[in-house]
């Protein structure tokens, strides 16, 4: 997967639009307009702040089903993504929680979205939804059946879960790429808002080879420069919310601050590499 072709950068910052509770969820409030309005506001705030892409996710639908969601959820997410495509020009991705990869692929393929996030593409994970099995077999064939080129960003040893198969990170990364055919790997901490360790990122990067590694949680203004030593991009949500609280809406100031911090660090590293190269050739 070439990140440059999708995000117009080799080090994308991907924001997240956490949708308010959708129809049929436990906390559904009865107002589609409120859900759509907030999604549009957050997407515009993220795009205006300089992120390179965003993921639309039914985050507030918890508790989640472990596989297929209700058709109403698919319908509303499709409507919202279609509206966002008309508002912003950056690439959009889909994550249908907890692991409804087929619905995510359908939404993305029909709306023109660029990618999906899949929590369990390979292996078996014990979660609060029960045992979730990898879906690579069905998903890859469904993508081919749809004639789609939507990219698959797959979590490895996903947060809020414990592996029942191999817990070795190197093995999990290689199998997700070689046997699950993931286009990129996502590595998170143990829970939402928790970053992966630098050791895990370095190990995953070595195992992934040319396949991109994307930070899936816990990146913030203070740690992003350190984390990006061993990653190719970052999905950012909690730290871009007002007061850094997951339940709050996107804070445009936090978005701009985060983007500026990472971009400046990337520029500084490029300059340092150029200086080091000149010293070597002297």
111 CB-near residues (< 8 Å, 6+ apart) = 78, 81, 82, 85, 92
Number of Cβ within a 10 Å radius of residue 253: 12
- Closest CA relative to residue 84, chosen from 104, 108, 118: 108
The tens digit of pLDDT for each residue in 129-173 reads 999 999 999 999 999 999 999 999 999 998 888 888 767 999 999
The ranges assigned to domains in the chain are: 3-281
Superfamily of domain 3-281: Aldolase class I (3.20.20.70)
Question: How far, in Å, are 22, 108, 143, 245 from residue 61 at the CA level?
Answer: 6, 19, 25, 17
Token look-up 């290689």 returns: 174
The two structure tokens encoding residue 91: 């690439």
255: pLDDT confidence band, cut at 50, 70 and 90?
Answer: very high
In this prediction, residues 63-68 reach a mean pLDDT of 94
Position 191 pLDDT exceeds 90: no
Q: Tell me what pLDDT residue 161 has.
A: 86
Please give the structure tokens belonging to residue 281: 């050739």
Mean pLDDT of the chain: 93
Task: Name the pTM for this structure.
Answer: 0.93
């Amino acid at each position: 997967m070439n990140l440059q072709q999708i995000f117009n950068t080799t080090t994308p910052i991907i924001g997240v639009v956490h949708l308010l509770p959708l129809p049929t969820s436990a906390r559904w409030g009865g107002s589609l307009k409120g859900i759509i309005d907030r999604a549009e506001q957050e997407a515009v705030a993220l795009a205006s702040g300089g992120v390179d892409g965003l993921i639309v996710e039914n985050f507030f639908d918890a508790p989640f089903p472990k596989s297929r969601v209700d058709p109403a959820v698919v319908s509303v997410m499709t409507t919202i993504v279609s509206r966002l495509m008309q508002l912003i020009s950056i690439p959009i991705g889909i994550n249908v929680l907890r692991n409804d990869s087929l619905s995510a692929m359908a939404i993305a393929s029909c709306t023109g979205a660029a990618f999906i996030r899949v929590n369990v593409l390979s292996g078996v994970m014990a979660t609060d939804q029960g045992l979730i099995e990898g879906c690579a077999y069905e998903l890859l064939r469904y993508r081919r059946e749809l004639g789609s080129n939507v990219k698959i960003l797959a979590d490895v040893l996903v947060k809020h879960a414990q592996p029942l198969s191999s817990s070795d990170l190197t093995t999990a990364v290689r199998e997700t790429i070689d046997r699950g055919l993931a286009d990129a790997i996502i590595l998170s901490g143990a829970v939402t808002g928790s970053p992966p360790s630098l050791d895990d990122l370095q190990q995953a990067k070595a195992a992934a080879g040319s396949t991109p590694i994307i930070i899936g949680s816990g990146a913030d203004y203070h740690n992003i420069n350190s984390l990006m030593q061993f990653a190719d991009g970052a999905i950012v949500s909690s730290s871009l919310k007002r007061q850094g609280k997951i339940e709050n809406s996107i804070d445009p100031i936090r978005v701009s601050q985060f983007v500026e911090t990472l971009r400046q660090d990337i520029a500084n590293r490029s300059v340092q590499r150029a200086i080091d190269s000149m010293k070597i050739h002297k």
